Structure 1
Amino acid sequence: MAQGFRNIKSFTPVEEAVAALLQHLRPFQEYERLPVLEAVGRVAAKPVHSPRNAPPYDASHMDGFAVNHQDLKAASLENPIHLRLVGSATPGPRTAYTLKHGEAVRILTGAYLPEGADAVVPQEEVSVEDGLVKISRPVSAYEYVDRRGFDIREGEVVVQKGEMLRPPKLVFLAHLGVWEVEVVRRPVVGLLAVGDELTDNPHETQIGKIFNTHTHIIQHMLTQSGAKTKYMGVIPDNLDAVGRAIAEGLQSSDMLITIAGSSVGDRDVSSRFLRDYGADIFIHGLRLQPGRVGGLALVRGKPLIMLPGLIMSTLNVFMFTAYPVLRYMMGMEPRIYARRVRAELSEEVRFRKYLDFKKVVWVKLVEEDEHVKCMPVPGESSGMSIPAKTDGFIVAGPAVEKIEAGKQVWVNIPPY
């Protein structure tokens, strides 16, 4: 098989290629402090512990009346208990009043119970007349009370080191009074596309140029992954021009990604340049289908990823190489998915070629009768509609000839 690909003498298992690269890299040790609500999508540099209990005091779960349950042990419909209404408690600072026996305080949901109170009677269960609260049943201690620290305890870990920060977590930190968070520096990823036929100008598509679509989707995925993209434009199929762009990209970025130019044709100049450039590591040809003509390199201590030009190969090589490397650089687990879900395969998938490769099938997730199923979306590597129709991908290992319908599989979700 390898003889059919000029300049690719062998195909390397993609996990081995990535492992070889990671051996020469180290996670970033450069951090910065950000206002907590400006840290969306950033990676935590160290654990964050809760500075307090939440809630800090027992709080009411209902609108009603704060009482001491001991006062109501004998209450019944026949012999209701009357408590003297002595004040009110609203969300905010805790009232300084200490409840005495025989008293009740009007309380709203979320307000802290006054000292001496240990239960709440919902407002619909009582009546108030002449400053007396009439209650016709006993209550249990802490009935309708959110206990101090039930949500989180002081000192408990809220954020793990290496965790990507999402809005709900950051809002929770603000709720706890954490106003700044230390995050890993965002990697700068140089991104360039190679090809005389490509353009970033939509008007030039009217004269036969091809719009540079792949760069836009990769740029978005880089942003969602926590990186900062330095777009270097479309580079012509010229060995010197590509060489200058690669040298500049490596100089000004933490990682460089090239799109197209990685195959074995006369115009695939990215792989030709890197083969002769003297890289510390140069792996061209991956046991990944689609994506077998992709590759990676280590040049002067910096990773370079070569994405093929056909869209499904572009996405596969990004997810299996660039994405785990980028995660590792930011101190996260180097995995091939942003998240994943378990689903039932709706129909059989059979493989007829590249059986000794890792095979990738893109699928659409569908909910049917409370079950999550995934439907394979077939097509060629150049099929631009496939990413638009699918939600993620499943993986079949080497020597797997088919995946049977009904099998539970992991659907890997990209960082869209």
Structure 2
Amino acid sequence: MLQVSDAEAIIFNLVQPLDQKWDREVVTLLTAIDRILAIPVTSELDFPHWDNSAMDGYAVRYDDVKGANKEQPTALEIAFEIPAGVKPLRPLKSGQAARIFTGAVMPEGADTVVMQEQTQIEGDRVLILEAPKNQEFVRHRASFYQAGEQLLPPGITINPAEIAVLAAAQCREVTVYRRPRVAILSTGNELVAPDELLHMGQIVDSNQYALAALVAQIGSEPVPMGIVRDRPEYVKKAISQAISIADVVLSSGGVSVGDYDYIDKNLEQLGATIHIRAVGIKPGKPLTVATFPKPKTKQRVLYFGLPGNPVSALVTFWRFVQPALRKLSGLTHNWQPKFVLARSCNDLTSDGKRESYMWGQLHLVNGKYEFLLAKGNSSSGNLINLAQTNGLAVLPIGQTHVSAGEQVQVLQIN
């Protein structure tokens, strides 16, 4: 049985990110949100596109106004007006000022903007009541970004801010990584779908839906494959179909040591290399990780045999599968699990034999994290109080107690 850190290292080393050349597609800007950028983006435009005003006021020559003050204001002729979006009519001469608005193009000859609050109008003249700084309130062409340089790097998530940048750069289409395909299947004779009649001894297959939602939430494409009955030939056929269509396969159930646990045997028969069979984590000890070669490529299909217990399945997904999928998707940074230090609001206990994960809610209070253990029975069989979970408090091997008010490491899961 591997320790959690060893299992993590094995899994992350097995993950081969999508190929930058072959595993990409072009999408429209309006559909690019939350996608992973596959190639660098450059622009032929400078930002700003031209020298422009950062303030409503008057465009002037600094040498004309550098000595202005309230006692001896400088009077300038108002030569013309420049609204935003309008090309200046002509160059600005010495002794002149141009009425200018925020974002408007600076006229040739002007190098400084005087904000209107520091001026006074007298007929066709403007009085400058306070000397500005040289080039004050002028946004110079290419001071934000110079045409031809890298605007956005590959391997980042396209969020609304990046959408705005791409739109401003007139990128109507974007090259992104394709979404990793994740096949999901549940094994067990006792399972029924949510729309089926529940008989004595049966349970609803919640794992299929939870795992599909988790996969979609992090930007991958879930491929639900339904329930597979506990017969070796059925399990083998389902796994064979799954590895033929997906980058990653998630199965739940069938990875323990019971008479009806066929996953590992079928993986071996299908030619898989099994890297992990069990991990010292609670909940989630029975975890299988295997790989299959992809025909005609250098990539591999990554297989996760998760526990059938719904809580265990979700905990092992959050701890191992979620970061693996994020790395696979093409992210170059911030795909790793994120842990924060939080003050526990409850006493936390463990037997200390395995690295223990306890679910609950993580809150930021006055700039510091607090962890509130989920109410009710915290047994791994209690799926109900997993609702609203956004953090997993971690007690390492050998630690059996954290008192309320003490610090604890918490895995952020959303």
TM-score of the aligned structures, taking structure 1 as reference length? 0.84
Paired residue type of 2:313: T
Q: Distance in 2 between matches of 1:157 and 1:397?
A: 43
Structure 1 counterpart SS, 2:197: helix
- Residue of structure 1 in register with 2:356 after alignment: 359
Q: Distance in 2 between matches of 1:114 and 1:338?
A: 53
Pair 1:310 & 2:309 matched? yes
| Cα separation, partners in 2 of 1:157 and 1:362, compared to 1, 3 Å | farther
- Residue of structure 2 in register with 1:48 after alignment: 41
Q: What do residues 340-389 of structure 1 show as CA deviations (whole Å, max 9, x unaligned)?
A: 555444455342242xx333233422233343322333711122244323
Q: What is the aligned-residue identity percentage?
A: 29
| Cα separation, partners in 2 of 1:346 and 1:211, compared to 1, 3 Å | same
Structure 2 counterpart SS, 1:70: helix
- Residue of structure 1 in register with 2:114 after alignment: 121
Asked if the contact 2:11–2:320 (Cα under 8 Å) also holds between the matched residues in 1, the reply is no
Q: What are structure 1's unaligned runs of at least 5 residues?
A: 1-10
- Residue of structure 2 in register with 1:327 after alignment: 326
Pair 1:234 & 2:217 matched? no
Q: Distance in 1 between matches of 2:407 and 2:208?
A: 33
- Residue of structure 2 in register with 1:7 after alignment: none
Of 272, 279, 282, 2:272 maps to 279
Q: What do residues 3-35 of structure 1 show as CA deviations (whole Å, max 9, x unaligned)?
A: xxxxxxxx1234434544555553322222333
| Cα separation, partners in 2 of 1:366 and 1:255, compared to 1, 3 Å | closer
- Residue of structure 1 in register with 2:365 after alignment: 368
Paired residue type of 1:259: S
Q: What do residues 26-77 of structure 1 show as CA deviations (whole Å, max 9, x unaligned)?
A: 3322222333342222222233345444223333222222222322223232
Asked if the contact 1:324–1:333 (Cα under 8 Å) also holds between the matched residues in 2, the reply is no
| Cα separation, partners in 2 of 1:394 and 1:163, compared to 1, 3 Å | farther
Pair 1:141 & 2:140 matched? no
Of 17, 34, 57, 1:27 maps to 17
Q: How does 1:166-315 map to 2 (within 5 A)?
A: 166-202=159-195, 204-205=197-198, 210-274=203-267, 276-300=269-293, 301-315=300-314
Pair 1:377 & 2:367 matched? no
- Residue of structure 2 in register with 1:6 after alignment: none
Q: Distance in 1 between matches of 2:140 and 2:406?
A: 45
Q: Distance in 1 between matches of 2:150 and 2:346?
A: 43
Q: How does 1:25-174 map to 2 (within 5 A)?
A: 26-29=16-19, 30=22, 31-49=24-42, 51-92=44-85, 94-95=87-88, 97-154=90-147, 157-174=150-167
**Number of residues of Structure 1 aligned to a counterpart in Structure 2:** 403
Paired residue type of 2:235: V
Structure 2 counterpart SS, 1:202: coil
| Cα separation, partners in 2 of 1:101 and 1:56, compared to 1, 3 Å | same
User: Alpha-carbon deviation of 1:249?
Assistant: 0.6
Q: Distance in 2 between matches of 1:363 and 1:227?
A: 25
Paired residue type of 1:199: V
Asked if the contact 1:275–1:282 (Cα under 8 Å) also holds between the matched residues in 2, the reply is no
Q: Structure 1 residues 294-303 or 88-97, which shifts more?
A: 88-97
Please give the root-mean-square deviation of Cα atoms over the aligned residues, in Å: 3.1
User: Alpha-carbon deviation of 1:336?
Assistant: 6.8
Q: Distance in 2 between matches of 1:35 and 1:260?
A: 40
Q: Distance in 1 between matches of 2:334 and 2:77?
A: 63
Asked if the contact 1:59–1:113 (Cα under 8 Å) also holds between the matched residues in 2, the reply is yes
Q: What are structure 2's unaligned runs of at least 5 residues?
A: 294-299
Asked if the contact 2:371–2:393 (Cα under 8 Å) also holds between the matched residues in 1, the reply is no
Q: Distance in 1 between matches of 2:44 and 2:355?
A: 47
